[in-house]
Structure 1
Amino acid sequence: MVDFGDILDSWEKETSRPYGKKRIKKDQQCNKVGDAPASGRDDADLPKVHPMDAWMRRHDIVDKDAVLDGGHEPPSAAERRRKLHAMKPEAVIDLHGLTREESWSRLNAFFADCRRRGLQKVLIIHGKGTHSGDAPVLKKTVTLFLEKHPHAGESGSAAKELGGSGATWVILK
């Protein structure tokens, strides 16, 4: 995810460069004589492009407002879900050996950090509960946490290579 502040900083950095005395002189000479511009080509026939649009295209940034006004269509919700399901988790937390209270507080901090960083999918490793007395303690704690946390979206058991039933993936809202 691109931070808008970074985009503006980069834009300011690139456009704040002085035009240059040599280029100004060449442009003035071309305008007096009627020659082609300093670039050597006739720019009069080319369509004018707003500098911000050119910058956004160069840095592969999509203008979501232009998309909504009839540009490219945003991906459908089903397509977005499919991509999120297929993607690997961007961050992992391992709760092995923690108590319910410790795991709850670590999950809160983990989710806050992931939201701050703009992550979309995370993995929580809680174990299968083979060392628990009656039933898996941490798995129940994680399930309850996900039900109550406002930024926890869809979740499910991880793939076998990521921990299987001993881990849960979560899509963040």
Structure 2
Amino acid sequence: MSTRRDRKLSDEERVLWNVIARTASPLKGKRAVEIPEVAKVEAPKAEPMPVKIAAEQSAPAPAKAPKRQYVAHSLDVPTRDKLSKGRLPIEGRVDLHGMTQDEAYSLLYAFLSRAHAGGLRYVLVITGKGNSKGGDGVLKRMVPAWLDTAPFRMLISSQDHAERHHGGSGALYIRIRRRLGA
């Protein structure tokens, strides 16, 4: 028989717990508990390209099978309309409000990986609209940029801004890429 204490927290739960725990203050007469850092999911780093010698550049490159390119596009208009009117279900949502970029990146990657593995099709990512000083929020700017990187391109096929009742410019509709062979 398994108890709650035997179960390990997922990466998403750990990130969420750390965000909440940092906002809590200890009871009167109690010491603050030290909060461990979140395990981060790092994006693979690109290695610098070596400088080629002119002679190597003139030699024809051996023919290779073309790699499959994954490019995220905007959602098509009929699909976007169906999502906004509730005719297509949003099968999952994640809220990145108040997180640091590292926490948000880790949570977003874990969430989209699970959604892809679970065969979900449409999800909502809530980034928030940013601060009240008229500037865009960091996550509002960064999440679309992250979605265009290689780790995320393998998981998603399209993205678009959500309708007002789903968060407007502070949220994104995302179509998860179908799994190969599924």
So what's the TM-score if we normalise by structure 2? 0.47
Structure having the larger proportion of residues in helix: 1
Greater gyration radius: 1
